[in-house]
Amino acid sequence: MKRKTWLLTCLLLLLFTADAGAADIMSFDIFGPAQNKVNILVLPARGPGGPGTSALATSFSNQVQNDIGYLPFMHLAYMNEILGGDPSKGLKADDIDFKPLQLGRIDFVVTIGGRGQEIEARVYETYSRKLLVGKAYSQVDESGVPHVADRFCAQLMRVLTGKSGFFDSTLAFSKRVNGGKELFTASALGRGLTQITRDGGFNVSPSWSKDGGRVAYTNISDKGHRLGIWSRAHRSSQLRKFPGNVAISPTFAPDGRIAISLSLNGHADIYMLDANMNTGPALAPSWGISVSPSFDLTGRKMVFCSGRLGGPQIFLLNRDAGTVQRITYEGTYNTRPSLSPDGRFVVFARLTGDGQRIFIRDLVANQERQITFGPGNDEDPSFDPDGYFVSFASTRNGGTKIFVTTRYGDAAKQIPTGPGDAMAPAWGVAPALD
C-alpha cells in the first residue's frame, strides 16, 4: 500500500516537473514575402545524344523561356548563375544535383528532353525535389512547338497559382486595315492572329461574352453607329441599327445580355438589351452622358464613365440597390473603366500632365495607384479573366500597340499583333482561334 502510494506520488511529481521544465516556444509572424518573384531555371534541352542534340527540344525550351518572360511573378534565371554549370545528367530528379540550384536560390527547375517528334518536360521544386509538372507531347512538329509550349506553361501556372487565364484566354482588339479598323483576335502571347470582321468602316470597342462565343462591338461608318455581334460558331458578324445617333461601348453582362450606350433621349445613357435586342429602362439615368459599362462576374456591380457631375468620372452602380457611387475624385478626365471579375478593382485611364495613364482603384481598401507610366498615351485598360493582368493600348513605341502589365504595375510587355496600329484590347475566356 505504502509503496504504491509513494510510487504514485513520485510519478506525479516527475510528470509535473518534466512539464514545467519544458521550454516555452516563442511564436512570431511574417506577413507577406519580401520578394514577389520566384526564380525559375530552364536547364539545357537534352536529346538522345545529350544536351543540345534535339532541335525540337531546343526550340521548345526557347518558347517556354519566352512564355515565362510574360509572367511578372517569375524571374527567369540563366545557367551562368549556377555554380559549376549544368547540374543535370538527365531529366529526372535522380539525375539532377539540386545543391548548386539551392545555392543559386533557384526555386523551380525545368528539364526538357526531345526524341524525334516527342517532347517531355518536367518542373521540380528545388528544395523538396518534388515533381510539380510532368508532361509528354507526341507528334509535335516545329510549327506546333509554340502551342505546346503555351500548354505546358499554362499547366505550370495552374500548379503554381491555381489560375491560368493568361494562357487560356484570347484577346480581341481593333486594328487598322485599309484606312478603317477591323477586329482581330490573338492569344495573350500574340499567337493565332486572326481577323474576325470585314464590315468596312471602323470597328471599335470589342467585348467578349462570358462563354467566349460572341464579341459585341461598335461599327462606325457613313451609316452611323451600329451594334455588331460576331459569332465564334458561325465565324460571321451581324450589324444592328438603334434609334438615335449614338450606339457605343456595347458590353456583355455575365447573363449574356448586352449593355450599350444609346442616345434615345438626346444624350447617351446605358441600356440593357433583352434577347430580342429591345431596350429596357436606362441603368443609371442622368442628364449627363453615360458610357463604357463593365461588369463583375456576378453582374450585380457595374462601373461606367459619366459626365453627370461635370467632367468624365468613373461611377459604380450597385444594380441590387440601384445606387450610384462616384469612384474617382482625382483628375478631371477619367475614362474607360474595367471592373475585375471579383468586383474589387477598377482600372481606368486618366488624363495626366504627361498624357493618358492607367490607374487602378481598390474598392475594398479605397486606395488608388498608377500602374502605367508611358511615355506617350496609355489607354483602353482591360482586366484578364483572373483579374490579375491588365492589357492596354499604348503609343510608347511609336504607333499604337497592345501591352500587358499586372494590377501591381509590373513592367509592361508588348503583345505581338503584326504591322499596323492595334488598340482597344478585350480579354475573353475562349482559347485562341485555330
Partner 1 sequence: MQDSRRGTGFVLSLVLHALLVTAGVLNFSFNRSVDMDKPMYSVDLVSLNPSEDPAEGETGEAAGGPPTLAEGQPQEQAAAATPIPPPPAPSAKPVPEPKRDDSKLISEKKVDEKKKPEKKEEKTPPAPPQPAEKKLSKEELLKQALQDVQKDVKDKSKNAKPTAKADSGKDAVAGELAALRKSRGGNIFTAGGTGPGGAGGGKGTGAGGHGTGIASVYGGIVTQLIKIHWRNSTFGREDNLVATLEINIDAQGKITGARVVKSSGNQIFDASAVRAAMETQNVPPPANKNLATLHINFNLQEMLK
DSSP-assigned states of every residue in 127-150: TT--EEEEEEE-S--GGGHHHHHH
Answer yes or no whether residue 411 interacts with partner 1 by CB under 8 A: no
x/- track of binding to partner 1 for residues 362-381 (CB under 8 A)? x--x-x-x------------
Q: In the set 26, 233, 321, 411, which binds partner 1 (CB under 8 A)?
A: 26
Q: In the set 3, 7, 24, 381, which binds partner 1 (CB under 8 A)?
A: 24
Q: In the set 230, 315, 388, 403, which binds partner 1 (CB under 8 A)?
A: 388
| C-alpha span between 151 and 10 (Å, rounded) | 67
Beta strands in 54-208 (DSSP E): 74-77, 108-115, 118-125, 131-137, 170-177, 180-187, 194-195, 202-208
Query: Which among 348, 340, 240, 243 has a CA at the least distance from the CA of 292?
Result: 348
Q: In the set 78, 94, 128, 322, which binds partner 1 (CB under 8 A)?
A: 128
**Min separation Cβ 128 and partner 1, Å:** 5
Q: Which is nearer to partner 1, 158 or 176 (CB)?
A: 158
Contact indicator for 68, 154 with CB cutoff of 8 Å = no
Answer yes or no whether residue 105 interacts with partner 1 by CB under 8 A: yes
Answer yes or no whether residue 37 interacts with partner 1 by CB under 8 A: yes
With CB under 8 A as the contact rule, which of the stretches 24-32, 223-231, 303-311, 397-405 interacts with partner 1? Answer: 24-32
Answer yes or no whether residue 3 interacts with partner 1 by CB under 8 A: no
Place of cell 453582374: 299
Residues numbered 331 to 360 that lie near partner 1 (CB under 8 A) are: 342, 360
Considering CB under 8 A, how many residues would be counted as binding partner 1?
54
Query: Which among 244, 229, 249 has a CA at the least distance from the CA of 303?
Result: 249
Neighbours of 117 (CB within 10 A): 13
Residues numbered 262 to 321 that lie near partner 1 (CB under 8 A) are: none
Q: Which is nearer to partner 1, 326 or 369 (CB)?
A: 369
x/- track of binding to partner 1 for residues 132-171 (CB under 8 A)? x--------------------------xxxxx--------
Q: Which residues make beta-bridge pairs with 359?
A: 348, 370
Q: Which residues make beta-bridge pairs with 171?
A: 186, 427
Q: Which is nearer to partner 1, 33 or 398 (CB)?
A: 33
SS3 292: strand
| β-bridge pairing 108-115 and 38-42 | parallel
Answer yes or no whether residue 39 interacts with partner 1 by CB under 8 A: yes
SS3 254: coil
Contact indicator for 264, 251 with CB cutoff of 8 Å = no
Provide the 8-state DSSP code for 355: E
Give contact residues for partner 1 (rule: CB under 8 A). Answer: 1-2, 5, 8-9, 12-13, 16, 19-20, 22-39, 73-74, 102, 105, 107, 125-128, 130, 132, 159-163, 342, 360, 362, 365, 367, 369, 388, 407-409
